[in-house]
Structure 1
Amino acid sequence: MFAATFWTDASRARRSPVRKNIPAMTFTRKSRLHYAWIILAAACVLSVISRADSASFAVLIDPLVEKFDWKRGDISLAYSLAFLCSMPAMLAFGWLGDRYGTRTLMLGASLMISAGTVLLGMIQELWHLYVLYGVFVGALGNAAFMVLLPVILTRWFNRKMGLALGIYWAALGSGPVIFAPLFRWMVETRGWESAFMVIGIAFGAVLLVFSWLIRTSPDEMGLSAYGAGDAAQEKQASGAAVSLRSVLTRRPVWLLTGCHHLGCAGHAVILAHGVSMATHHG
C-alpha cells in the first residue's frame, strides 16, 4: 500500500503528454462509455484472479499434509515468505511501472502466476513450495497487480474516484469466497496435479486477456480522465512531484504503514490456519 501511495504521487508529474488515437476506442465513444469503466472492470477481474492462490492457501494445508506428510508449521512458512518477499517486490514493481509502463509488467506477471500455479501441482519437496508459492506466485506475480492497479485507477478517475476504488477493493474481497471452495473441490475431485494444471492455465488466459485491456493512463489512448472537465477536481487532483525522501519524513506515512502491517500480521495467522482449525474441531 505504501509503495502504491508513493508511486501515485511521484508519477503524476511525469505523465506522458503524447496522445495517440486508438481504433479500439471507437465503440466506447459511440456508446458514450468512458474507457475508465473498462479499466475498472479489468482491474477488478485482475485483482481477484491474481490473488486467488494466496486467498486459497488455508484450504491447501490439509491436502498437503495428507499428500506429503509435511508439518503444518513448515507448510505455512510459504505463506510467510510470500508476505516477506512482497515488500521489496512491490517497491520494485512500483519503480518499474513508473519507468516502463504497467501493461508489459502485468502481462509478465500473468505468465508468472500461470506457470507458477501449474508447477505447484508438480512439487515433490518442501522447498519447491517455498520457491513457487512463497516467491514466484505469492510475491512476484501478485505484487505487480497489487501495487499497480490502484494507481492506474487514480489516473483514470478524477470524478467518482472514491466509488471506483471502493468497487475495486470490494471485488478483491470476493476472491476467497469464490476460489477457496473451488481450489479445495478441484484438489479433492481431480487430484493435486490435475487441479493446479487446469487452474493455472485458466488463470493465465484470463489474466493475459484483461491485462491487455489495461492502459497506464488516459494519455496513452488520447483521452482525458473520467470527470477531467471539472476544473475544481482537476485542480485538487493535480500536485507537485514528491521525492521518496520527503515522503519518508512524514509521520502519517509511518503511522499508516505500521497500522497496515500490524493489521495484516494479526489476521494473516488466522486466515492461514482457520480452515484446518475449524476442520479438526468439527
Structure 2
Amino acid sequence: MSQPSPAMSPRLNYAWVVMGITFAILLVGAGIRATPGILIVPLEREFGWSDATISSAIAVNILLYGLLGPFAVAVMERFGLRRTVVTALIILAFGVASTALMTTPWQLVVLWGIVVGSGTGMIAIVLGATVANRWFIKNKGLVLGLLTASSATGQLVFLPLLASLGQAWGWRAVSLTVAAAALVLIPFVILFLRDRPADLGLAPYGGTAIEPRVIHTENPAIRALKALRTGTRSRDFWVLAGSFFVCGASTNGLIGTHLIPACIDHGIPEVQAAGLLALMGIFDFFGTTGSGWLTDRMDSRFLLFWYYGLRGLSLMFLPFSFDYSFYGLTIFAAFYGLDWIATVPPTVRLAEKSFGKENAAVMFGWIAAAHQIGAASAAWGSGLIRTGTGSYLGAFVAAGILCLVASIMVLFVGFGRERRDLTSSGLAAAGGVK
C-alpha cells in the first residue's frame, strides 16, 4: 500500500531522509552491541562469573545477530522495513532493560544472548545494504559506506559515555540507558522510514524511472533458505563468506569484545580503554565512508586485499603496543580503526555482481552470517584463551594470521566467472556463438 508523500524540500531527495533515519537506527544498534564490552569486568566483580562464562553469552548474541540477518531481509521484503524495525527496537528495549534484574549466568545468556541478539539481528548491516540497494543508484557505494560507518559512530557516541555512567552509577544504569535510546527511536521510524521509492512515486536517487515494486508473498524463512541453497553452490559465496568469517573474528568478536579487558589487564583504566574504541570509531567513520567512495571507482577485490592484509599486520602489532604505553595503543587504534568495517561496501558490491541486484541483500545476509559466526567464535575463544593462559596474546596473533590468509582468498572472487565470460565473448566475436 502506497504511503502519502511527506513534505520535503524540492532540493532534498527523500532517499537521503531514509538514509538518515537508517543511519540513526544502525547507530543505536551498534551502541547496544558494543555495550557488553564494558560490562565484562563489572559482572566479574559483582557475581564472580568468569570471562569465559560472560563471553559465552556474548557469543550467542553475536551468533544470532549474524544468523538472523538473511531471515530479517526476507521479513523486510514480506512485511516492510518500518514494521520490522519497530518490532526489533521493542525487542531490544525489553531485553536490555531486563538485564538490570539478572542474577544468574543463564539469565545473561537468555537476555543478552538470545533476546538482544535477536533484536540486533533484525537491524543488522543487512538493513543498510537493503536501503542502499533500494533507494540509490548513484553513489550507492558511498551511501553503504556511510551506513556501515554508523556502527563505528555508535561506539563513538555510546562507549565513553556508558563507561563513565557505569563507573558513576553501576552497570544497571548502562543497561537502562541503552534501552531508553532504542525506545526514543521508535516514533521517528514510524514517521519517516519508508519501504521503497515507488511508495512515494519516486525513482531511486540517480535513476530516471520508478522501479516497479516487487511483491514477495513467499514465507520469509523459505525465501532465506532458498538463497542459502543457491549460495552453497557458488564458489564466490564460499570465498566471500570465508573472508567475512575472518572479518568478524578480527573485529566484533576479538577487538570489540575483548580490547577493554585486555587494556585493564595492562593497567589501563576502563574509561580510557573505552576511549580507544571511540577513537577507532572516529577513524573508521572516515575509513568506511572512504571505502564506499572507492568501491564506486575501483575493483572491490583489490580493496579487500589491502584491507585484510593491513588489518592482519596491525593485530600482530597490538600485543607489542602495550609496551609503548598508551601512545602505542593510540597508534594501533588509529591505524586499525581505518579499516574496522571498511570491508562491507566492497563485499556487498561483489555479492551484487555474483548474485544480481534483487538477491544482493539476502545473499549478503548469509555472508554477514558467516561474519558473525566468526565473531562469536572469537568472542568465546578469546575468553577461553584469557581464562586459560591469563593473556590475549594467542588470540591477537591467530587473528592476524587469519587476516593475511583472507587477503589472498578475496582475489579469487569471480575468477572462474570472468574467465567464462571472456571465453564466451571471444567465441561470439569469432562467430562461434549465434
TM bucket normalised to smaller: 0.7 to 0.9
Whether 1:269 and 2:254 are equivalent positions in the alignment is yes
Alpha-carbon distance, 1:100 to partner: 1.4
Return the alpha-carbon distance in structure 1 between the equivalents of residues 133 and 32 of structure 2: 26
Structure (1 or 2) with the larger CA radius of gyration: 2
1:256 to 224, 240, 243: 240
Whether 1:182 and 2:161 are equivalent positions in the alignment is yes
> What's 1:116 paired with?
95
Secondary structure of the residue that 2:152 maps to in structure 1?
Answer: helix
Q: What's the TM-score, normalizing by structure 2?
A: 0.54
Whether 1:82 and 2:67 are equivalent positions in the alignment is no
Asked if structure 2 preserves the Cα contact closer than 8 Å seen for 1:157 and 1:227, the reply is yes
Residues 207/180 of structure 1: CA separation in 2 closer, same or farther (3 Å cut): farther
Alpha-carbon distance, 1:246 to partner: 3.6
Return the alpha-carbon distance in structure 1 between the equivalents of residues 178 and 3 of structure 2: 37
Residues 71/39 of structure 1: CA separation in 2 closer, same or farther (3 Å cut): same
Secondary structure of the residue that 1:27 maps to in structure 2?
Answer: coil
Matches within 5 A, 1:103-142: 103-137=82-116, 139-142=117-120
Whether 1:27 and 2:8 are equivalent positions in the alignment is yes
Alpha-carbon distance, 1:209 to partner: 2.0
Alpha-carbon distance, 1:23 to partner: 4.3
Matches within 5 A, 1:228-247: 228-229=207-208, 244=227, 245-247=229-231
1:116-152 CA deviation, whole Å, 9 max, x = no partner?
1111112111111111111111x21111111223212
Asked if structure 1 preserves the Cα contact closer than 8 Å seen for 2:30 and 2:152, the reply is no
Return the alpha-carbon distance in structure 1 between the equivalents of residues 71 and 59 of structure 2: 19
Secondary structure of the residue that 1:51 maps to in structure 2?
Answer: helix
Residues 65/222 of structure 1: CA separation in 2 closer, same or farther (3 Å cut): same
Alpha-carbon distance, 1:91 to partner: 2.6
Runs of 4+ in structure 1 deviating by more than 6 angstroms, as ranges, are none
1:16-55 CA deviation, whole Å, 9 max, x = no partner?
xx7x46142x223xx3210000111111111110121222
| Aligned AA (2:93) | S
Return the alpha-carbon distance in structure 1 between the equivalents of residues 266 and 190 of structure 2: 42
Secondary structure of the residue that 1:274 maps to in structure 2?
Answer: helix
Greater relative CO, 1 or 2 (CA 8 Å, sep 6+): 1
Residues 176/211 of structure 1: CA separation in 2 closer, same or farther (3 Å cut): farther
| Aligned AA (2:261) | S
How many residues align? The count is 252
Return the alpha-carbon distance in structure 2 between the equivalents of residues 99 and 269 of structure 1: 35
> What's 1:239 paired with?
none
Return the alpha-carbon distance in structure 2 between the equivalents of residues 276 and 126 of structure 1: 19
1:169-200 CA deviation, whole Å, 9 max, x = no partner?
22221211221112211122122333322331
Asked if structure 2 preserves the Cα contact closer than 8 Å seen for 1:110 and 1:141, the reply is yes
Asked if structure 2 preserves the Cα contact closer than 8 Å seen for 1:49 and 1:207, the reply is no
Return the alpha-carbon distance in structure 2 between the equivalents of residues 34 and 168 of structure 1: 17
Alpha-carbon distance, 1:101 to partner: 1.3
> What's 1:144 paired with?
122
> What's 2:37 paired with?
58
Asked if structure 2 preserves the Cα contact closer than 8 Å seen for 1:21 and 1:221, the reply is yes
Asked if structure 1 preserves the Cα contact closer than 8 Å seen for 2:64 and 2:121, the reply is no
Runs of at least 5 residues in structure 1 that lack an aligned partner in the other structure: 1-17, 235-242
Aligned residues: percent identity? Answer: 25
After superposing the two structures, state which structure 1 stretch, 92-101 or 197-206, moved more: 197-206
1:93 to 72, 83, 86: 72
Asked if structure 2 preserves the Cα contact closer than 8 Å seen for 1:120 and 1:129, the reply is yes
| Aligned AA (1:22) | P
